[in-house]
């Protein structure tokens, strides 16, 4: 099963990036991620010449924004009664934070391409055929989640949908740079992805069609009849 590891809310990523605009907080973040192991509040404060309370405030803010992970360890190495309380430590978060305007989903495309190449090598099925099937499967998975409708899902994934008469046109291609250089491959993947989205949503009122245009996505959704 394909799992998209990027955040679904661009607002959360923007908030995280904005948190680093504060100079002291950025210095603390840079210090923590450069260390070979997790860092305590006291260690961070001493390294940067800050009051412990100031370091603690900014480190916790970075953790709230998912920029740092928090773990608890006993630095003494002892356990049991008398070992003392575990120290609160900070390390680089495993969460990926990325902001792109307009939205791009290159990691999603890269994962689909990698899956297609690997399965093609194992089965001798043409890569493009596997890619289309994987894209359609992913679309069904996305459409089968708790999503109100296709418009909401397309907005979430950066397609910038808008109504045009009875159709839905997509003002942004999340795979823009790839589509410019590898148009047939990427647009075919995108078409099957959106076929799958409609199937996952159980929306038979629309169909995904190729309709290339220089100022928008190559796929548009038109009335099925």
Q: What ranges make up the beta strands (E) of the chain?
A: 39-40, 68-73, 87-92, 161-164, 167-170, 206-210, 219-223
pLDDT score recorded for residue 99: 76
160 in Cβ contact with 171 (< 8 Å): yes
Local confidence pLDDT in tens for the 225 residues of the chain: 444 444 455 677 888 889 999 999 999 999 999 999 999 999 999 999 999 999 999 999 999 999 999 999 887 665 655 556 788 999 999 888 877 778 899 999 999 999 999 999 999 999 999 999 999 999 999 999 877 789 999 999 999 999 999 999 999 999 999 999 999 999 999 999 999 999 999 999 999 999 988 888 999 999 997
In sequence order, the β-bridge partners of residue 208 are 221
Q: Are 190 and 175 in contact (CB under 8 A)?
A: yes
Q: Supply 138's token pair.
A: 């992913």
* pLDDT recorded at residue 3: 45
Question: Reduced to 3 states, what is the DSSP secondary structure of residue 99?
Answer: coil
- Which domains does the chain carry? 10-92 (1.10.10.10), 106-223 (3.30.1380)
pLDDT of residue 78: 58
Judge contact between 2 and 37, C-beta under 8 A: no
What φ, ψ does residue 206 adopt, rounded to 5°? Answer: -125, 160
In the block, tokens 């245009």 appear at: 213
Give the single-character DSSP code of 219: E
- Among 59, 66, 19, 54, CA closest to 40: 59
DSSP per position, 105-156: -HHHHHHHHHHHHHHHHHH---HHHHHHHHHHHHHHHHHTSS-S-HHHHHHH
Backbone dihedral region for residue 84 (phi beyond 0: left; psi -120 to 50: alpha; all else: beta): left
| Residue where the block lists tokens 């909401």 | 152
Report CA-CA distances (Å) from 207 to 150, 192, 213, 222: 11, 11, 18, 5
């Amino acid at each position: 099963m394909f799992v998209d590891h990027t955040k679904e809310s661009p607002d959360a990523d923007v908030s995280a990036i904005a948190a680093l605009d504060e100079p002291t907080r950025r210095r603390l973040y840079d210090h923590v991620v450069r260390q070979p192991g997790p860092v305590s509040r006291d260690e961070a404060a001493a390294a940067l010449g800050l009051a412990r309370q100031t370091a603690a405030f900014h480190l916790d803010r970075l953790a709230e924004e998912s920029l740092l992970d928090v773990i608890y360890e006993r630095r003494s190495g002892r356990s049991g009664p008398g070992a003392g309380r575990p120290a609160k430590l900070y390390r680089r978060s495993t969460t990926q934070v990325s902001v792109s305007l307009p939205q791009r989903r290159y990691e999603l495309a890269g994962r689909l391409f990698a899956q297609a190449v690997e399965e093609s090598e194992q089965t001798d099925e043409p890569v493009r055929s596997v890619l289309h099937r994987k894209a359609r499967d992913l679309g069904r998975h996305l459409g089968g989640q708790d999503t109100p409708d296709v418009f909401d899902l397309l907005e979430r994934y950066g397609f910038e949908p808008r109504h045009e008469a009875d159709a839905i046109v997509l003002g942004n291609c999340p795979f823009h740079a790839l589509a410019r250089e590898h148009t047939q491959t990427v647009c075919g993947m995108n078409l099957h992805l959106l076929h799958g989205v409609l199937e996952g949503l159980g929306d038979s009122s629309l169909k995904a069609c190729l309709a290339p245009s220089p100022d928008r996505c190559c796929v548009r959704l038109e009335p099925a009849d």
